[in-house]
Amino acid sequence: MQAFNMNAYNVLDAKHKSSDTRGMANRLPTETRVQILNMLCEGVSMRAISRMTGVSTNTVDKLLVDAGLACVTHHEKAVRGVKAKRVQCDEIWSFVYAKAKNVKSAKAAPKGAGDVWTWTAIDSDSKLLISYLVGGRDAQCAWAFMDDVKFRLANRVQLSTDGWGPYLQAVDETFGTEIDYAQLVKLYGEAPGAGRYSPAECIGIQKRRIVGKPDMREVSTSYVERSNLSMRMHNRRFTRLTNAHSKKFQNHCHMIALYTTWYNFVRINSAVKMAPAMAAGISDKLWEMTDIVALIDAAEPAPKPRGPYNKTAQISK
C-alpha cells in the first residue's frame, strides 16, 4: 500500500498536474464549481453531480484533482503551530477499487487497490483536524502519521489513541518523552453471527498510561471517532456495502484533502459554534466554498503569452 501524507502529495499527482493542458477560457463558472465542490463534500456521487449540473464526469474528476492539490498545499502551510491541549488519534477503514480479498480476481485492478486506512488526529477542544494520512494500517504508516502530528503541534499535549500496537513504537520514536500519552483499550464480547456487519459488542474498556503524566480522566477517543463518523457521512467513498467506493487511490486522497479543508475552514462545527480553524486560532474568518475555488485558481500556472500566428499559404489548384 502506498502511503500518502501532506509532504508526499505533490509526488502522487505530479504526472497528472504536468499533463494538464486546460486553458483559462475553458474554466467552469465559479458558481458551477462551488456547486460541484459543495455536493462532493455533502456525499453526492460524481455521476449524480454530472447529471444534476450538466457537466461531464471527467470535468468533475478534474475539478476534484485541482481542489485536492490546492487544499493539501493550503493545509501544509496553514495548519502549523497548533496550540492544543488534548489530541486524539484513530483510523477509519475504506477501500479502493475492490476489497483486499477481491483484488487478485478483479479485472485491471490499479496500483493502490484494496483496503485503505485513513489516520486522523483531532484537537479535542477546537475539533480541528490536525493531521491525516492515507495508506495501510501498519508500523510504517503509524510512524509517518505521528511524525506529521508532531510537526504541526506547537506545545506538549496529552495524546489518546486506541490499543493498536504500532502506535506504541511510533509515538516513542517521534515524541520520545515530550508527550503525555495513554491508550484506551476496548474489550469486546463474542463476534457477531454470520451475515451480520455490526461489530462485536463492547463490554468494557481499559486505560493504560504509556509515557508522561496523562490525566487518566481525559483519556478518550470519543471525539476522533465522532469526527471519523462525519468523514464517513460526508464522503460518498466511505459508504459501506455499496458501489460508491473510490476507483483510484489518488482520487481517494484528493477527496480527503478537499474534505479536510472544508471541515476545518468552511463547515461550522456544532460543538464549538464556529469553524474548527477559527476555534484553534489559525483562521480569523469563516470561509466559504468560494475561498477554496480561489485556492484552485491561485494554484494554476499563469497563462503563457501566445506565440506568433503563421498563416498557412494557400496552394491554388
Q: Where are the domains of the chain?
A: 6-155+220-299
Q: In the prediction, which pLDDT does 99 show?
A: 81
Q: In the prediction, which pLDDT does 197 show?
A: 60
pLDDT in tens, 281-294: 999 999 999 999 99
| Phi and psi at residue 263, to the nearest 5° | -65, -45
Average pLDDT, the chain: 86
- Does 14 score more than 50 pLDDT? no
- Does 191 score more than 70 pLDDT? no
Q: In the prediction, which pLDDT does 259 show?
A: 96
- Does 71 score more than 80 pLDDT? yes
Instruction: Give the mean pLDDT of 1-30.
Output: 51
Dmax over CA atoms of the chain, in Å, equals 92
SS3 content of the chain, % helix, strand, coil (to 5): 45, 20, 40
Q: In the prediction, which pLDDT does 130 show?
A: 98
Q: DSSP character for 285?
A: S
Using a 10 angstrom Cβ sphere, with 0-12 exposed, 13-18 middle and 19 or more buried, the burial of residue 22 is exposed
Angle, helix 249-261 to helix 222-234, in steps of 10 degrees: 120
* 182 contacts: CB under 8 Å, gap ≥ 6: 158, 159, 160, 207, 208, 209, 210, 214, 216, 219
The answer to whether residues 2 and 112 touch, using CB atoms and an 8 Å cutoff, is yes
pLDDT grade for 5, boundaries at 50, 70 and 90: low
Q: Which amino acid is at 299?
A: A
